[in-house]
Structure 1
Amino acid sequence: MKLRPVVGVALAAALVRWAVSLHDYSGLATPPRFGDYEAQRHWMEITVSLPPSEWYRNSSRNDLGYWGLDYPPLSGYQSWLCGKFVQHFEPKAVELRASRGYESPFSKFLLRQTVLAADALVALPAALAAAVVFGGGSNGRRLQLLVALLFSPATVLIDHGHFQYNCIGLGLAMGAAAAQAVGHDVLCSVLFSLSLNHKQMGLYYAPAFFAYLFGRCLQQRTPGGKVCAVARLGVVVALTFGLVWAPWLRAPGAAWLDVLRRVFPTQRGLYEDYVANWWCTSSRLIKWTRLLSQARLLQLCSTATLAAAAPAMAMQLLRPSPRGFLLCLAASATAFFLFSYQVHEKSILLPLLPLSMLFGAEDPQLLCWINVIATFSMAPLLQKDRLGLAAIGTVAACVAAVQIAQIATAKTDAPRQHRGGTPLLSGRRIQQRLIQLSFLGCVVLLVAFVTLPPPQHLPFLYDALIVTWSFLHIAALFAYVYILMLQEFHNAGKAKQP
C-alpha cells in the first residue's frame, strides 16, 4: 500500500477516536460502584501499589468485591503500565484506597490517552498486516480492508467511549490471523496466546485457531513430521503462557489458582444486561435460570457452543485454508456469542473482527450493514453511557469512509468478481431489499426507544425488542457464514483434485 493514503486513513481514524473520547464514559458520576471506567482506573491503582502475587487475592488492601481484577495477567501488566503513566502526572488518581471514584478532568484525559496509545501501538500495526495479507494483491482492496478494520464503530465506541482496552486483545488476535495466513505458525501461536492472556474472551477464537493450526500440522507428509509440528507449537504456547504467568507460578500457595478463579467467575450468571444472544432473547418465553441450576446451565451452554462451532472446526481440520480460517473464526466467535455462558453485550466485538476481515474488501455494503447491526445491538448500553450522539457519528463516519474507499478502489482497480459469494447474498437486489428492511426496523425501534416511554408494567420493553431484532440478524449472519464455509470447503476439495 502507498504511504500517503495509509497515513490519511490512520489519521482520520485517530480523529474519530479522539472525538469519541470527548464524550461520557461508563459510570460517570454514578456512585457507589461507578462503571467500567472506574474498574480500569481501580486496576491501575491496585497494580501500581501491590505486588503481582496480590493482584487477584482478596485482602485488606485489595477488596475483590469492588471491581476486583478479573482479566488474565497480560491485562494486569497493561494496567500497571498505564497506571505508572497516570501516576507520574496525577498520583492521586491511582492512590491506594484513597482514589475510589476519582474522576478529575485531567485524569480522564490521561486515561483516554492510554487507550489511544494502545490502539496506535497494537491495533494499527495489526490492521495494516491484516490488510496486506487478506486484501489480496490490489492496493485499493487492501486500503478498503484497512478502512473497514479501523472505522468499526462498535469497537471505537466501547474502547474510546464506554472505556476499555479491547484494541489490545483484538489487535493481537488480528496479528495472529495475519501471521498464520502467510505460514508463520509459531508467530501466530505466540500472538494468539498473548491475546488469550489479555482477555479470556479470546477463547471465542480458540476453536478456529486450534482447528486451523492442527489441520496444518496434519498436512505434514510423514507421521514424524506431524508429531514434530504439533510438539513445536505446544512448546511455543507453553513457554508463552509460562512467561506471562511466571509471577504466580513462582509464588507460594498456588497463587495461580487465584488468577483462574477470578478469570472464570462462573457464579456471575447466564448473561449480563440485555445481550442479543439466544439465552437472553429466549428467556422471555423460557425462564432458563428457574428451570435449571447454574451447573446445568453451564453444561448446556458449553454443549450448545461446541455443537455450533464443531462443523466449522471439522472443515478446517480436514481442509485448512486462509479464507476458510477467517470463516471459521467468524463462525466460532458467533457461536460463542449466541450460545456460551456469561456473555456481555460488548462481546459482539469478537465476531465483528473476523467478519470485517472477510467482507471489508469483498462486500462493503454487507460490511456497513454488519457494523450497523453490531452497534444497534448495544443501544441500551450506549444509551446508559450517554453515547447516542457518538454512536450516530461513528456509524456515519464508518459508512462514509467505506464508501470513499470503495470509490477510490473502483478508480484504481479493475472490476473483480465477488469472491465466495452465494446466490443468496452477492450484490443482488434481494440483498439490498433485506438490508433496507433491516435498517427500517432499526430506525423504528430506535425512534420508539428514544421518544416513547414504555408501558409501566413493561419498563424494559424496548431493550428486549432491540436485542431480539439484533439476535435475528446475528443468527441469520451465522447461517450465512456457514453457507460460505461449505462453499470454501467444496472449493478447497476441488483444488486438491488432480
Structure 2
Amino acid sequence: MAIGKKKSDNPPQTISEPEIWSFITTRSTNSCFLCITLFAVFIRLAVALHPYSGANTPPMFGDYEAQRHWMEITINLPPEDWYRNTTANDLKYWGLDYPPLTAYQSYFHGILLRFFDPASVALSDSRGYESYIGKLLMRWTVLMSDLMIFFPAVLYFVTVYYSWNPDGKKSSKAWHTLMILLNPCLILIDHGHFQYNCISLGLTTAAVAAILSNRDLVGSMLFCLALNHKQMSAYYAPAFFAYLLGKCLRRQRPVVEVLKLGLVVFGTFALVWCPYLNSVDAFLEVLSRLAPFERGIYEDYVANFWCTTSVAVKWKRLFTTQSLKLLSLVATVSTCLPSMIQLVWSPTKHGFLHGLLNCSFSFYLFSFQVHEKSILLPLLPASFLAVEEPFVFQWFIHSALLSMFPLLRRDNLVVPYAALYGLFVLLYYAPGVRKDAGVSSSIPFILKLFASACSLVIHIVYITVTPPEKYPFLFEAVIMSLCFSQFVLILIYINLKQWAPSKISSEADTKKKRL
C-alpha cells in the first residue's frame, strides 16, 4: 500500500492580491486621516495661544467678549428674554443677533464655563472677564465644536465626494482633506479672532455631503440647522433650493417630493424656534435682531462691491437705507440667477458644487451688510472644488487672506497669519496632486511670480509704512480694491465653468457614459 500525504478536509484559505492591497490601502488611509486630524488640531492649538478680538480693549472689547456675554445671558435669563432689551440684558452691549441655535450653543457652553469658572459667566459682573482659566475654557469650547461638528463633516464629505466623482483620484483624497481642514482663513477667524463658524460651516458641509449621496431630506434638515446657527448660511440657500427643485421636477411625483422637502424644512425651523412661536411679538423680536439694517449697507472695509465703489460713489449719502436694501437685493438676485437657472435646468452634482460657490460669492459681493469674515462662506465650496480647480482655490485663498489682513493685524495675529500662509503654500504644493490643471496652465509663470511679489510688498508696506494723515485708510482701500477685482474674476470664471457643456449633462446621461 502506497503511503501518500493525507489531504486536508479544510484547505487553507488564500487571500487574493486585490484583497491584500485593499486591506493595506484601507489601513494606510485611516492612519493618514488620523495623522491629518491630529496635525489640524495641533495647528488650532498653536493659533489659540495668540491674542483674540478685543483683548484688553474696553469698554466693548470684541468678538471674544460677545461670545462670552451670550453665554452669560443664556444661562442666567429665560429664553424669552435672550433677544429682548431688559435691565438685565442691554442689547446695546453685544445683544444676541444670531438665530436660536447659536443661543442654544451659547447656553451649553455657558454651563461648561459656570461649572469650572462661575465668575466668567456671572450676570452683569463678568463684563470684560479675561482670566487665564476663562480664556482657556473659551478656547476649548471652539476646539470641541470644531472636533465634534466640522471635522466629522469634512471626512463625511470627502468620503462621499470620492465615491461618486469619476474625476476624483484616490491619491488626492488626503491632500483634499488637508486643504479643507487646514483652511488658514477659518482657523485664524475661529481660533485666533474668536468665533464659532466651524459649527454652521460644518453643518453646511454635512448637508452638502448628504445631498451628494442622494439623502436629500437629511441634507435639507442639516442645512436648516446651519441657517439657524448663522443667518449668513443663507448665502448657500439659492443653490440648495435650485438644485433640489431641479431634482424634484425630474421625478415621477414632483409635487410630493417638494412637499416632503417643505415638511422637513418647516419641521426643523419649528423645532428650533419653538420657544419663540408662542406669540407674534416674541417671534418678531428675534427676527428683528437678525437683520442689522440700521448699520448701513457696509460697516468696515470689506472687499465687496458696495464698499469698494464707495471710493467714487457715496452710496450712504445718495440713497436711503430702504433704497440701498432694494438695490442690494436686485444685485444679489441678478448675479445668483444664472447659477440657479442652470441648476434647475440641469441638476448635476458638479453643477451643485459650482452653484454653491457662485451663489455664496454673489451674496458676499453684493448683499447688504457684509463683514470681512463672510469670505469664509464662498471659501468653503471653493475648498470642495480644490482638486478640480486647484489654481482657483489657491488664488482664492491668497486673495481672501489678504482681504482679512487688516482685521487680523488689529487683533495682533500677524505671526500666526504669516505662519499659516506659509504652511498653506507648502501643503498646496505637496507632491502627488496636479496643480497646473484648468486656468493655471494658461497663466505664464512670470505673471504668477509678479502677483506673489505684489502681495508680499503690500503686506510689508501695510505693516511698516504710516499712511498720510489726510487718508488714514488708504492702504485698506488699496487692499480692498485689489481683492475685489480678483474676486470678480473668480466669480466670472466659476460661472462659466458651471455653464460649460460638460457640466450641463444630466446625472442620467453621466451614468450612461460610465456604462
Q: Same fold (TM over 0.5)?
A: yes
Equivalent residue, structure 2, for 1:325: 352
Equivalent residue, structure 1, for 2:399: 373
Change (3 A) 1:370 1:417: closer
Which is worse superposed, 204-213 or 488-497? Answer: 488-497
Equivalent residue, structure 2, for 1:196: 227
Change (3 A) 1:432 1:172: farther
User: Shift of the alpha carbon at 1:138?
Assistant: 3.7
Structure 2 matches for 1:332-481, cutoff 5 A? 332-359=359-386, 361-404=387-430, 407=431, 409=432, 418=437, 421=438, 425=439, 427-430=440-443, 432-481=445-494
TM-score relative to the length of structure 1:
0.93
User: Shift of the alpha carbon at 1:417?
Assistant: 10
Runs of 5+ in structure 2 lacking a partner? 1-25
Distance 1:157 1:416 in 2: 25
User: Shift of the alpha carbon at 1:446?
Assistant: 1.1
- Could you tell me the percent identity over the aligned residues? 44
Contact 1:272/1:345 (8 A) holds in 2: no
Match of 1:162, as an amino acid?
H
User: Shift of the alpha carbon at 1:373?
Assistant: 1.3
Residue of structure 2 aligned with 1:33, choices 54, 60, 83? 60
Distance 2:289 2:465 in 1: 41
Q: Which ranges of 4 or more aligned residues in structure 1 deviate by more than 6 Å?
A: none
Contact 1:324/1:489 (8 A) holds in 2: no
Residue of structure 2 aligned with 1:117, choices 125, 144, 147? 144
Structure 2 matches for 1:17-416, cutoff 5 A? 17-135=44-162, 136=165, 138-221=169-252, 225-250=253-278, 252=279, 254-359=281-386, 361-404=387-430, 407=431, 409=432
Runs of 5+ in structure 1 lacking a partner? none
Distance 2:450 2:195 in 1: 33
User: Shift of the alpha carbon at 1:490?
Assistant: 5.5
Distance 2:337 2:368 in 1: 17
In angstroms, what is the RMSD of aligned CA positions?
1.8
Deviation string 1:444-473 (CA, Å, 9 cap, x unpaired) is 211111111111101110011011111111
Distance 2:267 2:273 in 1: 10
Distance 1:180 1:130 in 2: 10
Contact 2:185/2:401 (8 A) holds in 1: yes
Match of 1:449, as an amino acid?
Y
User: Shift of the alpha carbon at 1:242?
Assistant: 0.5
Structure showing greater Rg = 2
Distance 1:491 1:315 in 2: 8
Deviation string 1:229-268 (CA, Å, 9 cap, x unpaired) is 0000000000000110011113x46311111000112111
Contact 1:454/1:461 (8 A) holds in 2: yes
User: Shift of the alpha carbon at 1:129?
Assistant: 1.1
Match of 1:77, as an amino acid?
Y
> What's the secondary structure of 2:499's corresponding residue?
helix
Deviation string 1:412-456 (CA, Å, 9 cap, x unpaired) is xxx8995xx4xxx1x415164443333222112111111111111
Deviation string 1:161-212 (CA, Å, 9 cap, x unpaired) is 0000000000101111111111000011000000000000001000000000
Contact 1:248/1:255 (8 A) holds in 2: yes
Match of 1:248, as an amino acid?
Y
Change (3 A) 1:42 1:227: same
Distance 1:462 1:287 in 2: 19
> What's the secondary structure of 2:466's corresponding residue?
coil
> What's the secondary structure of 2:141's corresponding residue?
helix
Match of 1:463, as an amino acid?
E
Match of 2:259, as an amino acid?
A
Match of 1:5, as an amino acid?
C
Change (3 A) 1:471 1:385: same
Match of 1:26, as an amino acid?
S
Distance 1:24 1:374 in 2: 21
Change (3 A) 1:201 1:432: farther
Distance 1:164 1:246 in 2: 25
Distance 2:280 2:476 in 1: 45
User: Shift of the alpha carbon at 1:488?
Assistant: 5.2
> What's the secondary structure of 2:500's corresponding residue?
helix
Contact 1:324/1:488 (8 A) holds in 2: no
Distance 1:165 1:462 in 2: 29
User: Shift of the alpha carbon at 1:491?
Assistant: 4.2
Equivalent residue, structure 2, for 1:9: 36
TM-score relative to the length of structure 2:
0.90
Match of 1:396, as an amino acid?
G
Which is worse superposed, 253-262 or 108-117? Answer: 253-262
Contact 1:186/1:236 (8 A) holds in 2: yes
Change (3 A) 1:248 1:494: closer
Match of 1:456, as an amino acid?
E
- 1:483 equivalenced with 2:496 (yes/no): yes
User: Shift of the alpha carbon at 1:271?
Assistant: 1.3
Contact 2:351/2:503 (8 A) holds in 1: no
Distance 2:345 2:435 in 1: 29
Deviation string 1:282-316 (CA, Å, 9 cap, x unpaired) is 00000000110000000000000000000000000
